[in-house]
Amino acid sequence: MVVVIPIREKGETMTIKSFVGGHSVMVIEGATFDPSIRKFRGGEVALEIPFSGRMLSAKAKQETAEPIVVGGVSIPTKTRQIWESVDPLPSTEECDLCIVSAMYVAACRDLGIDTSRLLTMDGTVVDDDGKIRGVTGFTRN
């Protein structure tokens, strides 16, 4: 299922699909920020963006680095992740905007891939038990 989001200022519509987590993304309106947990609470579901059916992943390699020794304990370390590849973006015919992980965006940037169609989730909304309910919006990358 594709969610069609109206773009009022242009009079056009855009399609958005989620390529993260294997689950729908709920957009919550009216949530209030709780500084004690640095997350949002409350609000109502304004939109459900269904999972597209596939996740977009990035492949990285790491090498073993010199261990850190603290109090006689040798702690293994690795080098920074070096991105090798990412799953290809869907075509613009399939969707205009893609909700992806921050890791996928980072890999695309490092590999020189255009990220203008990518969105990451922003403003985590949780219930009283701390379970994630959704997001307040997205970050355009």
Tell me: the pLDDT tens digits for 100-131? 999 999 999 999 999 999 999 999 999 999 99
- Please report where in the chains the tokens 């596939």 appear, as a residue: 54
Quote the mean pLDDT of the chain: 90
Position 1 scores a pLDDT of: 43
Considering the entire predicted model, what is its pTM?
0.81
Mean pLDDT of 50-54: 92
